[in-house]
Amino acid sequence: MNKKKTIRLNWLFEKMTANTASVEEQVELKALYKEYIYEERDCVTTTPNVYTPEKHYFTSK
């Protein structure tokens, strides 16, 4: 998400918390929030895991 959209997302969020956002602004906030979440989710799933913890298996004797 670019800087302009992030600033808009923050501004709309502040309006929502102050209960001053119009219906159109609420719809825009929801769309921007979804874009932010899905973009982050895509980054996480496409970025290789650089740290994979070792698995230790124990057997009982």
* Per-domain residue ranges of the chain: 3-46
- The CA distance from 6 to 35, in Å, is 10
Please state the separation of Cα 15 from the chain's center in Å: 19
More confident residue, 41 or 5: 5
Q: Looking at this protein, which amino acid is placed at residue 21?
A: A
Q: Are 39 and 45 in contact (CB under 8 A)?
A: no
pLDDT tens for 28-55 read: 999 999 999 988 776 655 555 555 555 5
- The CA distance from 11 to 36, in Å, is 14
pLDDT given for residue 43 in this prediction: 65
- The CA distance from 25 to 60, in Å, is 61
Domain 3-46 = CATH 2.60.40: no
